[in-house]
A and B are shown apart, each in its own frame.
Chain A
Amino acid sequence: MRFIFKTKYSQDINIAKHNGDRFWYSLLILIMVALPLVLDDFYLGEISYICILSIAGIGLMILSGYTGLASLGHAAFLGVGAYTHAFLLTNGIPFYASIPIVIIVSFLVGAAIGIPILRLTGMYLAIATLALGFIAEHVFIKWEHFTGGNRGLPVPQPEFLGMSFYDSVFFYYVCLVFLIAAMFAAINILRSPTGRAFVAIRDSEIAAQSLGVNLGLYKALSFAISGAFTGLAGALLAHYIGYLAPDIFNIFLSLTLLLLIVVGGMGSLHGTVFGAIFVGFLPQLIAICRDYLPSSIGSQPGLEPMLFGLILVFFILYEPLGIYGRWMKIKLFFELFPTYKRQTFKKQKVFTKSDRV
């Protein structure tokens, strides 16, 4: 077990708490940078996709994991980001100018959605976001001038810094840089008063309010920030898929994002990456399952939703803190060995806090 001798307040404020952290995270980034040397295009593409999913996951994590507001329609923000980006690129706006505009537009869309529905709590919010997700999908279909409707919209792949987005190594680096930047931005928000206010709203609205947190403002802000991250992911996703069709941004994608944060671990940014890796490799996992199951079941199209549901239920029931929670437990087991006690993480008896008003 590591004991840190603290002599400065800055040590609590800094992102890396000790040299061990600094070493391991630098090593991780180095490995990520060196990956194109060993991996082929297919796997680079997969990892780029995981980076994009992670960025979207950060967005949803801030909203659901940190502010405690469920969103069942988050694919809408991916759609807003993707379509805005594709539209801007089609109209000759360069990549470096389009991305900031996408972030601002998704931020504003998030705020615009957040403000009317921020009075809702818990279940009502979940239902409202679900409905908004459907409405957004419908808008993507019908607003043909902007989205191309059901015909779809090809995404231009312009040159950026003299490189092409068709080059999978270059695209991988773009995704990686955005993921690292998004991580830093999220960490910074979360260690500032705004991030603490989010956590306060999650844990006790009434106390947060009594400490001067403007509930309405901060919930809308959380929606907006979440929208901005997810919109950015949407813009990158547009490059990744290359051709936008409205049914990409359906409820299944929204639920996949939720699966991502639940499996990764609610309330941790590590969790978004773990969850993204899991969700990114889920199709392969399912393919493997198909091979092992008897062909009468293995060839059924229903297998995918079934496994999706089973995983979700399994994590909610048995590992509510997700992969990150499991990781923490394993880490603690070795740190405390042989004195680790199961009870350390035993679920506390919780009594229902009524949502009723």
Chain B
Amino acid sequence: MSLFEVKNITVAFGGVKALNDVSFGVDKGEIFTIIGPNGAGKSTLFNVISRIYEPSKGEIYFENQNISKTKPHNISKLGIARTFQNLELFENATVLQNLLLGRHIYKRTNILSEVFFTPSARKQEHEYRLKVEEVIDFLDLQHYRDTLINGLPYGVRKNVELARALCTDPKLLLLDEPSSGLTNEETIDLGFWIKDIQSLLGITIIMIEHDMSFVNKVSDRILALNYGKILASGLPEEIKNNADVKQAYMGE
């Protein structure tokens, strides 16, 4: 049984179908990569899963629960976290504050206990911090705790966004082009981290990615999209040799 399933999703903007009858399933513990040329509908797919876009047709299942009607802010409570293609960090806050927001879904305090900062509010801050420190250690962010996002280099920002998603303790992680804008070394590090997230933290990953050597290295399965339709899906080897995919990418 799949952990996550997309069934017959269609998204139309006006007359244009950004996604056309797309279905696939992701198993628990997998690293599942979505590839495709620009405008293939990859980010649209993520935005449908995060419930930012309303699909015109189809359903999404997570742990056998239909989430097609879930409120956008409840998605992360179910255990789905994501990063964004063009970084959506809280720019005028410190790294620590960004990561602490990752714990927001576990909030127990109400506004009154916060106004008086009761012992329970303080205890909650400590608990948040413990988890955040785990993630900081995991992704080597120790140097940047009190730095404003504004003052960070791009590579570190990407890392912070990944860290923030991990702070929510997700079961499923959606990564939108995690390697874009990174240097070679950073991309290699990222590969290790993604593998670690899979094996050490046991998190299932769906990833959108362009860098094919990176994709082939880390992915368990690959799905190729073009013009909103599925071109092919399968193991990295199969995709590499798939005629349709070659056609779409190289125009052969």
Q: Which residues of A contact B (CB under 8 A)?
A: 9-10, 12-13, 185, 188-189, 191-197, 199-200, 202-204, 206-215, 221, 225, 267, 348
Most chain B beta carbons < 10 A, residue from A10, A195, A203, A212: A212
Residues of chain A lying within 8 A (CB to CB) of residue B103: 193
Do A193 and B91 touch (CB < 8 A)? no
B88 touches A206 (CB 8 A): yes
Q: Are A207 and B111 in contact (CB under 8 A)?
A: no
Chain B, 64-117, CB within 8 A of any chain A CB: 71-77, 81-82, 84, 88-93, 96-97, 100-105, 107, 109, 111, 114-117
Determine the chain B residues whose CB is within 8 A of the CB of A212 once the complex forms.
Answer: 73-77, 104-105, 168
A203 and B92 contact, Cβ closer than 8 Å, known pairs A210-B81, A211-B168 = yes
- List, in ascending order, chain B residues with CB within 8 A of A192's CB: 109, 114, 117, 121, 125
Q: Is the CB of B90 within 8 A of A214?
A: no
- Are B89 and A207 interface neighbours, CB within 8 A? yes
B50 within 8 A of A: yes
Q: How far is the CA of A189 from the CA of B113 in the complex (A)?
A: 9
CA distance A213 to B84 in the complex (A): 16
In the complex, which of the residues B97, B109, B117, B122 contacts A199, with contact meaning CB atoms closer than 8 Å? B97
26 contacts between A and B (CB under 8 A): A12-B96, A13-B126, A188-B114, A189-B111, A191-B117, A192-B114, A193-B103, A193-B114, A196-B93, A196-B100, A197-B101, A199-B97, A200-B101, A203-B89, A204-B91, A206-B88, A207-B89, A209-B72, A210-B75, A210-B82, A211-B101, A211-B168, A212-B73, A212-B75, A212-B77, A267-B92
Residues of B within 8 A of A (CB): 50, 52, 71-77, 81-82, 84, 88-93, 96-97, 100-105, 107, 109, 111, 114-117, 121-122, 124-126, 128-130, 150, 164, 168
Q: How far is the CA of A300 from the CA of B88 in the complex (A)?
A: 50
Residues of B within 8 A of A200 (CB): 90, 93, 101, 104
Counting chain B CB atoms within 10 Å of each CB, which of A185, A200, A211, A267 scores highest? A211
Are A196 and B129 closer than 8 Å at their CB atoms?
no
Q: How far is the CB of B164 from chain A (nearest CB, A)?
A: 7
Question: Which chain A residue shows the least CB distance to B93?
Answer: A199
Chain B residue contacts of A204, Cβ below 8 A:
88-91
Residues on A with beta carbons closer than 8 Å to the beta carbon of B111: 189, 194, 221, 225
Please, which residues of chain A bring their CB within 8 A of the CB of B89?
Answer: 203-204, 207
Task: Give CA–CA (A202, B114) in the complex, Å.
Answer: 20
Contact check, A210 vs B116: say whether CB atoms are below 8 A apart.
no
Q: In the complex, A189 Cα to B111 Cα: how many Å?
A: 8
User: Measured between C-beta atoms, what is the minimum distance from A325 to chain B in Å?
Assistant: 12
Question: Could you tell me if B73 and A209 are in contact, using CB atoms closer than 8 angstroms?
Answer: yes
Given A185-B115, A189-B114, A203-B90, answer yes or no on A196-B104 (Cβ-Cβ < 8 Å): yes
Q: Which residues of B contact A10 (CB under 8 A)?
A: 122, 126
Closest residue of chain A to B80, judged by CB? A210
What is the chain A residue whose CB lies nearest that of B75? A210
With known contacts A192-B117, A203-B93, A267-B92, A210–B72 Cβ distance under 8 A: yes
Q: Which A residues are in CB contact (< 8 Å) with B116? A: 185, 188
One of A12, A188, A196, A211 near B105 (C-beta < 8 A): A211
Q: Could you say which of A9, A12, A188, A348 contacts B150, with CB atoms under 8 Å apart?
A: A348
B75 touches A13 (CB 8 A): no
Minimal beta-carbon separation of A219 from chain B (angstroms): 12
Closest 5 CB pairs of A and B: A207-B88, A192-B114, A212-B105, A203-B90, A188-B117
A12 touches B129 (CB 8 A): yes
In the assembled complex, how far is the CB of residue B97 from the closest CB belonging to chain A, in whole angstroms? Answer: 6
Residue of B nearest to A107 (CB): B111
Known contacts A196-B100, A212-B168; is-contact A207 B90 (Cβ 8 Å)? yes
Question: Is A208 a contact partner of B101 (Cβ separation < 8 A)?
Answer: yes
The distance in angstroms between the C-alpha atoms of A211 and B71, with both chains bound, is 12
Contacts of B50 in A (CB 8 A): 209-210
Bound together, the chains give a CA A12 to CA B95 distance in angstroms of 13
B97 close to A13 (CB less than 8 A): no
- Tell me which residues across on chain A come within 8 A of B90, comparing CB atoms: 199-200, 202-204, 207-208
Question: Which has the most chain B C-beta neighbours within 10 Å: A13, A206, A209, A210?
Answer: A210
